A and B are shown apart, each in its own frame.
Chain A
Amino acid sequence: MTQPLLSVKSLTIGVRRPKGVDTIIVDDLSFEIQRGERFGIVGESGSGKSLTLRAIADLLPAGVEILTGSIRYDGVELVGMPTPARRRLMGPEIAMIFQEPMTALNPVIRVGEQIAEGPRRYLGLSKRDAMKLAIEMMAKTGIPDPVRRARAYPHELSGGLRQRIMIAMALSCGPKLLLCDEPTTALDVTVQHQVLRVLEQLCADSGASLAFVTHDLAVVNQTCSDLAVMYAGHIVESGRVKDVFRDPRHPYTKGLLDSAPDFDQPERELVPIPGFPPNLAARPSGCPFAPRCAFAVEACTVAMPPTVVVAPGHAAACIESQSIFEGVAA
């Protein structure tokens, strides 16, 4: 078996408190991304999905840190790697696309120069060649009139164009792993669709793997081959996208699917998930979803349920994953 491109093992992210109990935001997370795979991480706000991505990119906000666990990229351990070595991976190996293309671009630098920065550093290009590459990348992302647009400042471009700039920037050094932190959330739906198409196309062309964080199930369905559903810092279910969508085995996944509109079944009623995610500073014992779960039994509140394989390549962390949805059409 070939080595996975990215392997996250028992990753725990939180706020260290020298006096008292550390606040754990991401708890004992493990997953793998294979070469060429498009891996979606789904969950609601605060589930820890963005932090997981930021931990991979070494961009955790101040105060939040990796408490334990390992992140191996292409066999190399990233946790504890010195900053210069770590940053040398960023660009040619791992790249990231952010949620807000307005704030993620430096407002005082021309977008062309911002794209050219990475190639100049890593590909050893002259200023002129790097700019040529930047313009080429902009054209590839479908930006009309890239020569003129390369001289624009971020505030002079629309949201869709800015996100294309981000994509061009992220892919300019030919990364093998592209981390996307809700890249389309800030865009309106039509633009969202176009941007996703560009992203997919370019990743397919370059063979880059994708780690795609979003709360939008439709986007995962369109973009990803595999997914993990996160709730309160845990992966509650993972598997092939089509398997999980067809046959969800965790009540939270089921709840997410039921609460999102599906245009193939416009008649279906939307069912919200009652309650709120747990307070991470005071985690309930047992399954974090139990207080909101319609199927919860007493055993759920005792211990975190183990992750069980429910079908080949499909796992869920629910003690009733084998029984509750039996015969229930998703």
Chain B
Amino acid sequence: MLHRLRFLPGRLVQSIPVVFGVTLIVFFMARLLPGNPALALLGQHATPASVAALSKQLGLNTPIWEQYLLFVGRLFQGNLGTSLTYQLPVTQLVAQAIPVTLSLLGMALLLSLIISIPLAAVAAFKPASGRDLGVRAFTLLGQGMPQFWLGIMLILLLAVGLRAFPVGGYGTTAADHPYYLFLPALTLAITMCPTIIRSLRASIINVLGSEYIGTAKSKGSYGAALFRGHVLRNAAIPTVSIIGVNLGFLVGGSLVIEKVFALPGLGSLMINAIFARDFPTIQGVTLFVALFVVLVGILTDVVYTMLDPRVNLGAKEQS
């Protein structure tokens, strides 16, 4: 088992240039935004003189490559700079927001698995049956509804209408958080489910048709034991990579959803920072999102390797 994870150190090293490249792009993209942070900070009372003074104070009047070098230099010291709007270190802001976003994503992933696995199984055990069509209708619906709209509908229905869940926010105690996160996580889960269900359904059908299922039946296995013991793990293998890719997209989706549900996560931080032209914060958040996507990619490969003993990524890379 462990020898097949030998690809890990190499993969981690490879990801450094990727993350570095992202910082480069984001740094310059942020500066392509129309508007000036000094102007945004000073607001209505800005005079050309005060804007120039503040720009100088923020280091915005130096050539752009000098600003980049300064940014990268600080980065190596673990310093992402100071937020222009909050006047706090970006690392501190990001550190506060990361647990929110990560728990949101984790809960969304968990919910989508809880929804997807039974539905995919129900559909796959009897392809083209009524329940298969029902599941297909659900996946189409899930794919067709825009995330933000679905979020708003859930708020109206479950939070405003039934008062079963809070309208927004993150709660104050650790016990509150799952309760507050449920609706936004459900929103993300419902939009992620269709892809998982479709992939899982197809691979379950595939697995059910294979010879080793006949062998398992000839050993007396049937029903739930057969599904758990011989179907799910085999069928999960192709789906794992799909979940990996989708988790990357989900980060993008969480930006909007955090705004809809007023969650103080990376998404809200990012959107506020963009409106305020808060360059250091934009850069910091993007850096972490990029890091997250890269890590999810690596994690996907690890899970894949653990599930399928035939996979040996290390061997492939050497050849």
Contacts and interface: CB of A to CB of B under 8 A. Distances in A.
A59 B221 contact: no
Given A91-B220, A108-B233, A108-B234, A98 B215 contact: yes
A117 B211 contact: no
A88 B223 CA distance: 12
B230 A106 contact: yes
B212 A104 contact: yes
Given A107-B309, A153-B310, A83 B222 contact: yes
- Contact-residue bracket for chain A: 20 to 34
- Interface SS majority for chain B: helix
Contacts of A88: 220
Nearest to A172: B219
B307 interface: yes
A97 to B, nearest CB: 9
B206 interface: no
Contacts of B221: 87, 117, 121
B233 A117 contact: no
B163 interface: no
B217 A117 contact: no
Given A153-B309, A153-B310, A155-B309, A105 B220 contact: no
Interface string B111-144: 0000000000000000000000000000000000
Contact of B309 (A96, A98, A108, A117): A108
A106 B212 contact: yes
Contacts of B216: 106, 117
Contact of B222 (A87, A92, A118): A87
Nearest to A155: B310
Given A98-B211, A104-B212, A117 B218 contact: no
A78 B308 CA distance: 37
A129 B211 CA distance: 27
A104 B212 CA distance: 4
B171 interface: no
B252 interface: no
A104 to B, nearest CB: 5
Given A98-B211, A103-B210, A108-B309, A84 B230 contact: no
Nearest to A95: B218
B214 interface: yes
A90 interface: yes
Contacts of B215: 96, 98, 104-106, 114, 166, 169
Of residues B214, B220, B222, B308, which shows the largest number of chain A Cβ atoms within 10 Å of its Cβ? B220
B214 A98 contact: yes
Interface string A79-123: 000011001111110011010100111111100001001100110
B274 interface: no
Interface residues of B, number: 23
A107 B310 contact: yes
Nearest to A170: B218
Contacts of A118: 219-220
B212 A90 contact: no
A302 B234 CA distance: 52
Given A153-B309, A155-B309, A104 B214 contact: yes
Contacts of A320: none
A102 B249 CA distance: 38
B237 interface: yes
A5 interface: no
B220 A90 contact: yes
Interface string B201-245: 000000001111011111111110000011001100100000000
A105 B219 contact: no
A98 B221 CA distance: 16
A57 interface: yes
A170 B217 CA distance: 12
B196 to A, nearest CB: 19
Contacts of A107: 212, 234, 308-310
A58 interface: yes
Given A106-B234, A108-B234, A108-B309, A169 B219 contact: yes
A122 B237 CA distance: 29
A273 B219 CA distance: 39
A242 B309 CA distance: 47
B218 A57 contact: yes
A29 B81 CA distance: 84
A157 B220 CA distance: 25
B150 to A, nearest CB: 36
A272 to B, nearest CB: 31
A166 B308 CA distance: 21
Contacts of A58: 217
The 6 closest A-B pairs by CB, nearest first: A103-B211, A96-B218, A91-B220, A153-B309, A90-B220, A106-B212
19 contacts: A87-B220, A87-B222, A89-B220, A90-B217, A91-B220, A96-B214, A98-B218, A103-B212, A104-B215, A106-B212, A106-B215, A106-B234, A107-B308, A107-B310, A108-B309, A114-B215, A121-B220, A121-B221, A170-B218
Given A108-B233, A109-B233, 4 more contacts: A90-B218, A107-B234, A108-B310, A117-B229
Interface of B: 209-212, 214-223, 229-230, 233-234, 237, 307-310
